[in-house]
Amino acid sequence: MSTSVRGVAIATIALVFAAGCASYGSIDGVDNLWREVEVDHFQKGITTQADVLGELGPPSQLINLQNQTVFYYLAQQSTGQGKLFIIWNHVTETKKYDRAIFFFDKAGVLEEFAFSRESIER
């Protein structure tokens, strides 16, 4: 085998071993406990901020509006796969969002709430 052919063969083998694949996943945000509670558990005009905090814990965001307070809960799931080569890389990522939002009046009583259609498994 000539020196140049041997060099090409060694370089090709090195490139094959330098390539790799990767998979990953993560869940960020708060625990989506609102999926474990019956929807009718939260009642407009009756449920208070303290009730929601006791049931779901602190929200991802607390928003103060002029006449309302909003509790915004967010859980996010990311998954991806990639092929990593010296010259070329390819990565795909998928994100899912699970959300709940609660609107309270000035007295801290629930006026409106909603959950996203999409849910994620923790």
Q: Give the domain extent around 89.
A: 20-115
In a domain, 12, yes or no: no
What H or E segment, with its residue span, contains residue 10? helix 3-18
Q: What is the pLDDT of residue 7?
A: 67
**Average pLDDT by consecutive 10-residue portion of the chain (122 residues)?**
66 60 80 88 97 96 96 91 76 88 97 88 68
In a domain, 88, yes or no: yes
Q: What is the pLDDT of residue 95?
A: 86
- Which residues contact residue 37 at a Cβ distance below 8 angstroms, ignoring those fewer than 6 apart? 55, 56
In a domain, 101, yes or no: yes
Q: What is the pLDDT of residue 22?
A: 75
Cβ(94)–Cβ(26) below 8 Å: no
In a domain, 10, yes or no: no
In a domain, 15, yes or no: no
In a domain, 60, yes or no: yes
Q: What is the pLDDT of residue 8?
A: 67
Cβ(32)–Cβ(99) below 8 Å: no
Q: What is the pLDDT of residue 19?
A: 62
In a domain, 35, yes or no: yes
Q: What is the pLDDT of residue 18?
A: 56
Task: Count CB-CB contacts under 10 A for residue 33.
Answer: 14
In a domain, 61, yes or no: yes
Total number of domains in the chain:
1
Q: What is the pLDDT of residue 47?
A: 97
Cβ(92)–Cβ(26) below 8 Å: no
Q: Which pTM was predicted? A: 0.71
